[in-house]
């Protein structure tokens, strides 16, 4: 064999080894690698992330055949606790997470956008010391038009016995989250998570039925050209936000991107930089997004990637909730771009 052929063979083999190594890095494996331990709590976290992955696969499977199956698209006719019309996919995905975590044994309580009260799984409670907070389908208005959707999740360790089923510990700041992330149902299904050791993405390989490592230690750029906000609300905003958007309009180098699903919009910002904002309005000063299962999990991801998330006055991860379904204004993304919005809110320019 010539030297050139030998080195070609070597590089092909190396490439195969590398891609094989990567194919073997599944989600649950990755969590254990991150924690560098097989302790019971590491095993728990790995099992929990594996269950999140299973929920994602079940939702993705149903979405992938949405136009072909009965009972997937459209509304149920009900209104949820937020006063929003419930879609059939919201209900399905909400039930998926319940079923998946009933069988985990590890989760005693679930709280979701679609349930007024915390859902207890009594058979898990004697040993299940974890709580799952989730938005089963984020951006559900995109469902019927075959556009991107997401699921958002956060895991917290239960504090106290919660004998009266008040779940007061869930109101603690987002810094108490031990894991958080999202699943993005786009052209491929992607899972992004953090356990406080950086941000990592996985792609669902349908032929393997596994989430396989895609990118480790994702870092958000310090600045990006994207601003992502529903400008249809322009005249409902406070003057400071209007001034910020006017600034963007007259400054070269900004592009608007808004999909109607914050998981997709924030994912773009995570990879390419920029800012996503959902400010309060004059009528709804707290805005639309829910703190505990929308803003706080995404804030944890973006902070772990080197970005920021704020209400405009304080870090999202420091906000103490007053109630389960509390809303909060959200400004999230690249450090520089978040700071720019903040300076309009705090100083008017
Ligand atoms: P959900 O579908 O869980 O209610 O969340 C939708 C959220 C968010 O994903 C999105 O960015 C925003 O609401 C869209 O709201 P507007 O239509 O008011 O812009
Ligand atoms: Mn949502
Ligand atoms: Mn939702």
Please give the pLDDT value at position 14.
63
pLDDT in tens, 181-219: 999 999 999 999 999 999 999 999 999 999 999 999 999
Give the global pTM.
0.95
Record the tokens describing residue 182, joined without a space: 């999202």
Using alpha carbons, select from 271, 261, 190, 164 the residue that is nearest to residue 224: 271
Residue 260 Cα to ligand 1 midpoint, Å, equals 6
Confidence of residue 5 (pLDDT cuts 50, 70, 90): low
The ligand 1 atom nearest the CA atom of 232: 19
**Structural domains of the chain ordered from first start:** 21-215 (3.30.540.10), 226-347 (3.40.190.80)
pLDDT in tens, 285-337: 999 999 999 999 999 999 999 999 999 999 999 999 999 999 999 999 999 99
Residue 310 Cα to ligand 2 midpoint, Å, equals 17
User: Residue 121 annotated as binding?
Assistant: no
User: Residue 288 annotated as binding?
Assistant: yes
- For range 123-132, the mean pLDDT: 91
User: Residue 141 annotated as binding?
Assistant: yes
The ligand 1 atom nearest the CA atom of 84: 4
pLDDT in tens, 144-160: 999 999 999 999 999 99
Longest dimension (CA), the chain: 76
pLDDT in tens, 290-303: 999 999 999 999 99
Among protein residues, the one with the nearest Cα to ligand 1's atom 12 is 260
User: Residue 169 annotated as binding?
Assistant: no
Ligand 1: residues within 6 Å at CB? 84, 113, 135, 138-140, 230, 260-262, 288
Residue 90 Cα to ligand 3 midpoint, Å, equals 7
Which ligand ends up closest to the CA of 261? Answer: 1
In angstroms, what CA-CA distances link 11 with 6, 20, 174, 251, 264?
A: 9, 14, 46, 47, 36
Angle 92-301-86 from CA coordinates, rounded to 5°? 25
In angstroms, what CA-CA distances link 62 with 140, 185, 207, 264, 280?
A: 14, 11, 16, 19, 34
Dist CA 21 CA 98 (whole Å): 33
């Amino acid at each position: 064999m010539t030297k050139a052929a030998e080195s070609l063979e070597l590089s092909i083999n190396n490439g195969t080894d590398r891609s094989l190594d990567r194919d073997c890095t599944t989600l649950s494996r990755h969590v254990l690698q991150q924690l560098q331990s097989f302790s019971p709590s590491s095993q728990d976290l790995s099992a929990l992330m594996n269950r999140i992955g299973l929920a994602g696969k079940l939702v993705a499977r149903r979405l992938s055949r949405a136009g072909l199956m009965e009972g997937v698209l459209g509304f149920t006719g009900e209104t949820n606790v937020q006063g929003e019309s419930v879609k059939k996919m919201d209900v399905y995905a909400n039930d998926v997470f319940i079923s998946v975590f009933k069988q985990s044994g590890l989760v005693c309580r679930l709280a979701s956008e679609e349930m007024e009260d915390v859902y207890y799984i009594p058979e898990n409670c004697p040993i299940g010391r974890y709580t799952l907070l989730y938005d089963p389908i984020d951006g559900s208005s995109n469902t019927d038009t075959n556009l991107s959707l997401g699921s958002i999740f956060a895991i917290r360790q239960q504090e106290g016995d919660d004998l009266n089923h008040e779940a007061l510990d869930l109101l603690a700041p987002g810094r108490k989250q031990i894991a958080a992330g999202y699943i993005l149902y786009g052209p491929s299904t992607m899972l992004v998570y953090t356990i406080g050791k950086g941000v990592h993405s996985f792609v669902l390989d349908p032929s393997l039925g596994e989430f396989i490592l895609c990118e480790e230690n994702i870092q958000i750029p310090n600045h990006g050209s994207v601003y992502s906000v529903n400008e249809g609300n322009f005249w409902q905003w406070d003057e400071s936000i209007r001034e910020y958007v006017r600034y963007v309009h007259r400054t070269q180098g900004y592009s608007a991107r808004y999909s109607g699903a914050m998981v997709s919009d924030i994912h773009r910002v995570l990879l390419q930089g920029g800012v996503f904002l959902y400010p309060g309005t004059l009528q709804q000063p707290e805005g639309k997004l829910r703190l505990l299962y929308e803003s706080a999990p995404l804030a944890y991801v973006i902070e772990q990637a080197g970005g920021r998330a704020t209400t405009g006055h304080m870090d999202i991860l420091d906000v103490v909730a007053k109630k389960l379904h509390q809303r909060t204004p959200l400004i999230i993304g690249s450090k520089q771009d978040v700071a720019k919005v903040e300076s309009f809110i705090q100083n008017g320019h």
